[in-house]
Amino acid sequence: MNIATLETTESSTLFGEMPALEQHLKSKPADVERLIMRGDTFLAFGRYEDALKDFNSAIQIDPNNAKAYASRAVVFIRTDNFDNAFDDLKKQIMLDKNDAMGYCNRGALFVVVKRFDRAIADLCEAIRLDPKCAPAFANLGEIYYKLDRYADAVECCTKALELFPASGESHFYRGKALEALGLIAEAQDDLDRAIAIGYTPGTIESYYRSN
């Protein structure tokens, strides 16, 4: 499953900003934007409980903040709390219908629960809103492979890899689709690349995109 996040900088840079965020929030604890920034930093380092606290606080202060729901949904996804993730993504989409990330992540969750029709609809909407949304193409590639639509899977995975070459998942599903099409040499190259990147089926892989 590929998820889109709000993280746009290297983790080391995010961590370097933490002291300033901590100092600012001591004097202005109700600053929603900075709470989300600190939560996203915790999220980047896998400190999900700390991230969840900041996103909960942001939502309590500003219940109509779409970014807070978006980031909290990522925490729920990464901790396998899919019911709450669906709820937050629904709220995010209601608040900001033009953000591809909400549709992309909800589509990814629909893949997990095997609601491929709903997943395709959400992922296509994500791509309509953001034609460079690599996770949406990657998730579509996975779906089409599972639906035996191998040519479509190759096309979507190829587009995902053009946008995000380090996607082990896209190499894997393109390789499996090529294998099903009888293109064994090309398939082996993709599968080798997936292994080199460290991808194994079921791995949650994140893609960081600019807002």
Higher pLDDT: 29 or 108? It is 108
pLDDT at position 199 is 85
Record: fold of 2-208: 1.25.40
pLDDT at position 1 is 60
For residue 39, CA distances in Å to 6, 15, 73, 150 come to: 11, 11, 12, 39
Q: What pTM value is reported for the model?
A: 0.80
CA-atom Rg of the chain in angstroms: 18
For residue 81, CA distances in Å to 72, 84, 103, 183 come to: 11, 6, 18, 38
Q: How confident is the model at residue 141 (pLDDT cuts 50, 70, 90)?
A: very high
Mean pLDDT of the chain: 86
Q: How confident is the model at residue 85 (pLDDT cuts 50, 70, 90)?
A: very high
pLDDT at position 24 is 64
Q: How confident is the model at residue 102 (pLDDT cuts 50, 70, 90)?
A: very high
- Name which of 64, 65, 63 is nearest 37 in CA terms: 65
Question: What is the per-residue pLDDT across 51-64, written as a single tens digit (0 to 9) for each?
Answer: 999 999 999 999 99
- The DSSP element (H or E) to which 3 belongs, if any, is strand 2-5
Question: What is the per-residue pLDDT across 179-202, written as a single tens digit (0 to 9) for each?
Answer: 999 999 999 999 999 999 988 775
Q: Span 110-125, mean pLDDT?
A: 95
